[in-house]
Amino acid sequence: MDSLTLDQFAVFAVIVDEGSFAAAARRLNRAQSAITYAIQKLEDQSGTELFDRTAYRPTLTAAGKELLPRIRRILADVDDYRVHARQMVMGLEEELRLAVHPYTPVHLLSSVLRDFHDAFPSVRIAASLSTKKAAFESLTQGMSDLATVFELSPPGEGFRHLSCADIEIVAAASPKHPLAQWKEPLPPEPLRKHMQVVVHDSLAPEDENRIRGYGVDSTELWRVVNFEMVHSLLVSGVGWGIVPLFRVAEDLAAGRLVALQIERWAPRKNALMIPLVVTHSIHRPLGPAGRWLFQKFAESGGLAPDTSALR
Task: From first to last of the 311 residues of the chain, give the pLDDT tens digit.
Answer: 568 899 999 999 999 999 999 999 999 999 999 999 999 999 999 999 999 988 888 999 999 999 999 999 999 888 878 766 766 666 788 899 999 988 888 889 999 999 999 998 889 999 998 877 788 889 999 899 999 988 755 556 788 889 888 888 899 999 999 999 998 888 888 888 899 988 764 444 544 444 444 455 677 888 887 788 999 999 999 999 988 999 999 999 999 999 999 888 877 777 888 889 999 998 888 888 999 999 999 988 654 444 443 34
Domains 6-89 and 167-274 alike in fold: no
Residue-range domain boundaries for the chain: 6-89, 95-165+275-305, 167-274
Q: Which CATH number fits domain 6-89: 1.10.150.20, 1.10.10.10, 1.10.730.10, 3.20.20.140?
A: 1.10.10.10
**Of residues 295, 266, 290, the one with CA closest to residue 123:** 290
Residue 194: what pLDDT? 92
Residue 16: what pLDDT? 93
Residue 154: what pLDDT? 54
Alpha helices in the chain (DSSP H): 6-18, 21-28, 32-46, 62-89, 106-119, 132-140, 188-193, 205-210, 227-235, 245-254, 288-299
> Could you tell me the CATH superfamily of domain 95-165+275-305?
Periplasmic binding protein-like II (3.40.190.10)
Residue 81: what pLDDT? 81
Quick check: helix, strand or coil at residue 191? helix
Q: What is the CATH code of the structural domain delimited by 167-274?
A: 3.40.190.290
